[in-house]
Amino acid sequence: MEEYTLTYDEKVKGWTSFHSFIPEYMTNLNNEFFTFKDGQIYLHNVDSGARNNFYGTQYETEIETVINDGPSEAKIFNVLELEGSSKNWNITINTDIDSGHINKESFKTKEGFHYSYIRRDTADIVNTELLSVQGVGNIATSGINVIDNTLTFGLVPSTISVGDSFYTIQGGLYQKIGDIVSISGGVVGFSEFAYIPPEGNFCFAAKNPLAEAYGLKGYFATIKLVNSDQGAVEIYSLNAEAIKSFP
């Protein structure tokens, strides 16, 4: 079980923060806050030096909040918007149905705000409930060419694209055949086979969930922001763009 130091704010009459450092003793002298650790005395709230460094250990800043507008309506969360002095926040988003993330490199700054589409996690690539996964059909008889690394089907849907990952189901498990490098009529080509499926097996294609920005479905979203900056960082607001999900 993790241990934390909690701070109480007299102004709001409540517990406001969790801190990772665990002091042996704390005291306030002449409006300065001191703690003791391993026989050493430490002064806190010092403007110089690295922020979030306690007793020689560097910590990250973590903020966790919940967006719960319209709690009775299922929504699709598409975009997060940050207002603050830094966009160096790595973010994880979990709804009651889905999960995703935003890497700090994904944020773009527009008119003083930092925007990014919410990305799904890589584990979603074979989530057959998503629109990014599309069935192709059964491999035709004599439709496997191990020399040219191709598979032949009766028809390949127009939504299947070069770069999509190709899968089959064998023994109750998803088996990746390879990444598509060519499509010609009903023939799908690969640079090489990662797995050679049996004739007649059903196959499906999946687009990269990191590249697809179709959002996360859910009634509410729990959002965790992590920042490793050692300088002063301010965040003023966090907003989400969401649309109602229709069944």
Regarding whether 52 and 11 lie in a shared domain, the answer is: yes
The number of angstroms, rounded, from the C-alpha of 228 to the middle of its chain's C-alpha atoms is 17
* Domain final residue, candidates 15, 38, 59: 59
Regarding whether 233 and 112 lie in a shared domain, the answer is: yes
Residue 214 has pLDDT above 80, yes or no: no
Confirm whether 150 is domain-assigned.
yes
Name which residue leads in pLDDT, 127 or 71: 71
pLDDT of residue 122: 64
Regarding whether 89 and 200 lie in a shared domain, the answer is: no
Regarding whether 176 and 55 lie in a shared domain, the answer is: no
pLDDT of residue 131: 63
Please indicate, yes or no, whether the overall pTM of this predicted structure exceeds 0.85.
no
Looking at the DSSP bridge assignments, the partners of residue 223 are: 65, 93
Regarding whether 100 and 42 lie in a shared domain, the answer is: no
pLDDT of residue 128: 65
Confirm whether 128 is domain-assigned.
no
Quick one: what percent of the chain has pLDDT higher than 70?
A: 93
Residue 215 banded pLDDT, cuts 50, 70, 90: confident
Regarding whether 221 and 117 lie in a shared domain, the answer is: yes
pLDDT of residue 209: 64
Regarding whether 218 and 102 lie in a shared domain, the answer is: yes
Residue 124 has pLDDT above 80, yes or no: no
AA identity, residue 111? E
Nearest 10 degrees: Cα torsion 8, 11, 13, 18: -30
Confirm whether 138 is domain-assigned.
yes
Confirm whether 35 is domain-assigned.
yes
What are the start-end ranges of the E strands in 96-190?
Answer: 99-102, 108-110, 113-117, 119-120, 133-138, 144-145, 150-152, 165-170, 173-184, 187-190
Confirm whether 32 is domain-assigned.
yes
Q: Domain holding 220: CATH number?
A: 2.60.120
pLDDT (average), residues 109-116: 89
Residue 134 banded pLDDT, cuts 50, 70, 90: confident
Q: Domain holding 195: CATH number?
A: 2.40.10
| H-run or E-run covering 63 | strand 61-67
Which of 62-71, 113-122, 141-150 ranks highest by mean pLDDT?
A: 141-150
Residue 47 has pLDDT above 90, yes or no: no
Regarding whether 197 and 177 lie in a shared domain, the answer is: yes
By residue range, what is the domain housing residue 73? 62-123+213-244
Structure tokens at 70: 């319209």
Regarding whether 221 and 115 lie in a shared domain, the answer is: yes
List the one residue out of 122, 85, 84 whose CA is nearest residue 103. 122
Confirm whether 221 is domain-assigned.
yes
Per-residue pLDDT of 18-46, as tens digits, reads 888 899 999 988 889 899 999 899 998 88
Per-residue pLDDT of 48-66, as tens digits, reads 778 888 898 898 999 999 9
Total domains in the fold of the chain: 3
Regarding whether 67 and 47 lie in a shared domain, the answer is: no
Per-residue pLDDT of 79-90, as tens digits, reads 999 999 999 999
Regarding whether 70 and 21 lie in a shared domain, the answer is: no
Regarding whether 53 and 16 lie in a shared domain, the answer is: yes
pLDDT (average), residues 137-162: 93
